[in-house]
Structure 1
Amino acid sequence: MKNKLHVIVVLFLNSGLFQTSPAQPSPDLFLIDDYDYKTFYRIARSPVNKMNKFAAWEKAAPEVKTVLIKSTLDSSEQKALFYNSGTARKKPLLLALHSWSEDYIQHFSIPYGIFAVKNDWVLIHPDYRGAFTNPMSTLSEYAVADILDALEYARKNADIDQSRIYVTGFSGGGMATLIMAGRYPHLFSAAAAWVPIYDLVQWYGTTKNAKHNYSRHITNSCGGAPIAGSKAHAECLKRSVSSYLKNARKTNLPIYIATGVKDEFVPPSHSIQAFNDLADKTDRISAEDIRYIDKKRRLPTHLKGEFFDSLFTDAGLRLIFERKSEKVILKIFDGTHDVIYNAGLYWLSNQKRKTR
């Protein structure tokens, strides 16, 4: 069934409560209606996540196929998922980027495939050297080149609406999304990043004593622990959003950033710092407030207000904060390390900007 939604957002600002005009979704836009595919955690807890990855994709979106793309850097054959219906019309292009520990066939990108097929969008979902565990991956120059190669492959093999080229991802894919937005803002009409890692040096400090292996992945990727003044430190910064994102502000690229206030994998500070890089000085969130949110896993009293987004509510995650500034929007929800697919995709679908 076609989903027709009216999204109403209420903003609490210093001068009081304001209600924005509800955005009108296209009558032709189909949103994801399967319960299991609306958020990351729903997929993680569903029977789908226990299936073989290829079988899961074949069941949910059999039209999406694997393609091989020759690397412009080392001539290796790099895999990607690709969908193009071949219909005679110019189509939006969705470049979706997999998360930190995954690859091009991850279960958690199936919603992008479902959405692309339902809406006759073109989808490209590159491997970009797989999980972020080694020097060739983790947004190395090879990985970045693979993303650019995948984008070019889609543009050459489908009839693309050049004003509707979107990039999105979550976690490591959110990091990749913001790096591409910062380094190549002219290539995209809009970007949506969920729970992104903003700075690898910071994240190493957060994860080095944790039970999981993310800190080891960082040292493996960057050539050691990122101690100040070391080559590994410089390499981590070279692969970090913090080194590039401010470039996007000059180009007016619309960027959507969302994080869970209780995220213990990637602290909310990463998303908030990304927002601050793009926001007007008067709209930035203070360092004191950022530290409070990371430590307490809740908002300070003066940032609390009444916020509502029906797509967050529909996914069972309450929106607790929203701020818009320049061309960036930050959303904080009452949840952990998660993504609400419909919310990001719906927002992207409403953005138009000519690319080069």
Structure 2
Amino acid sequence: MCFRFFSITLLICGSGIVVSAQDSPKWDDTNSRDWPAQAKRVSIRSSADGSEQGAYFYASPAAGLRPLIVSLHTWSGNFQQKDTVANLCIDKGFNYIHPDFRGPNNKPQACGSELVISDIDDAITWALANTKTDPENIHVIGVSGGGYATVLTYMKSRHKIRSFSAYAGIYNLVDWYYESVGRKAKYAGDIAASTSGNRNELNVDEAKKRSPFFMQKPVTDRSKSTLSIYCGIHDGYTGSVPISHSLLMYNKLVADFSPEAPFSMVPQEYIQSMLRERTLRGGGDQGTILGRKIIYKNQYQDKVSITVFEGGHEMPPGEVLAHIPAIK
């Protein structure tokens, strides 16, 4: 049997495909666990099943209400994985939490499950109860699998969150499964195991259920939130996630907010050009972000934006929290 999905998706026929592991990309380095002394390890009881989920946590000692930064771990990582956002929060006096949400995305309990959403919400609730946080100043950020989890949180969280920043995320697990098969990447087996319990068998319906691209957008709930989607133009070539994930996710959300806003969407010819050529002919000078040239950017009002930068599968180092509003 053959499966055919979107035009940019690889076409795979047959069964019993064996995939081999690739080296983990920079932002899926699960070996580095170097945490600053100010960040404390805590345990949070799940409201869904009573299990204990770990987290690293920092409560700002500064007077007054402070922002809360919720930083989400990568695809193959967990809460112990080193996170440079922690150092930024300590320097700025922001509250911070880096929760576990069922660990690596290679089992049914993880990878966009209802338990994952519940765990992230529980971590936010716990942080609100244990810090002096301005409830109108909560921000979620993640890269790679953390970008995936960030947009899942945008789609599903019960909390009122001011901003979401998603870098190099995965938003369509069906597409990424076949893209990973074609690259002989371990992620195909991870998706299969998460959706069927078997690394050699993909459950397409379950993969769609766990993919932000197929979820109904909570337009009313996010009317006062901003979602910023970022991707490096070379991802999918030098990295593991084609930029089509970010571009198509952005277009889907714009359409959810307003089907009458075609100029806010990324034109299909631009998507094909950037995928094919790793640049955008005639794109002009659109400035820089985090020291990187901007290849393409667009936005719908102040609700959702897309930025394609010169880079790969990464969150570029620098002031990734510059968008946090001034503290009262």
Which TM bucket (shorter chain)? Answer: 0.7 to 0.9
Unmatched 5+ residue regions in structure 2? 1-24, 255-260
The answer for the alignment partner of 1:297 in structure 2 is 278
Residues 73-98 of structure 1: CA distance to partner in whole angstroms, max 9, x if unpaired? 11111100110033331010001100
Q: How does 1:166-315 map to 2 (within 5 A)?
A: 166-184=139-157, 187-223=160-196, 232-244=203-215, 246-248=217-219, 251-264=223-236, 265-279=240-254, 280-299=261-280, 301-302=281-282, 304-309=283-288, 311-313=289-291
Q: 1:120 to 1:343 in 2, by over 3 A?
A: closer
Residues of 2 paired with 1:324 and 1:120: CA distance?
A: 30
Query: Once the 2 structures are TM-superposed, how far is the Cα of residue 224 of structure 1 from its aligned partner?
Result: 6.7
Residues of 2 paired with 1:140 and 1:296: CA distance?
A: 35
Residues of 2 paired with 1:270 and 1:351: CA distance?
A: 32
Query: Once the 2 structures are TM-superposed, how far is the Cα of residue 343 of structure 1 from its aligned partner?
Result: 4.4
The answer for the alignment partner of 1:318 in structure 2 is 293
Residues of 2 paired with 1:245 and 1:97: CA distance?
A: 22
- TM-score (ref. length: structure 1): 0.75
Residues 139-180 of structure 1: CA distance to partner in whole angstroms, max 9, x if unpaired? 211111111110100001111111110001011110110111
Residues of 1 paired with 2:161 and 2:53: CA distance?
A: 22
- TM-score (ref. length: structure 2): 0.82
Residues of 2 paired with 1:175 and 1:242: CA distance?
A: 10
User: Given the alignment, which residue of 132, 136, 150 partners 1:163?
Assistant: 136
Contact 1:182/1:248 (8 A) holds in 2: no
Contact 1:192/1:255 (8 A) holds in 2: yes
Residues of 1 paired with 2:219 and 2:316: CA distance?
A: 24
Unmatched 5+ residue regions in structure 1? 1-39
The answer for the alignment partner of 1:334 in structure 2 is 310
> Larger helix proportion, structure 1 or 2?
1
Give the number of equivalent residue pairs.
Answer: 292
Contact 2:279/2:295 (8 A) holds in 1: no
The answer for the alignment partner of 2:13 in structure 1 is none
Task: Please provide the CA RMSD for this pair.
Answer: 2.6
Residues of 1 paired with 2:74 and 2:219: CA distance?
A: 22
Amino acid at match of 1:333: F
Amino acid at match of 1:345: L
Moved over 4 A (4+): none
Q: Percent identity?
A: 30
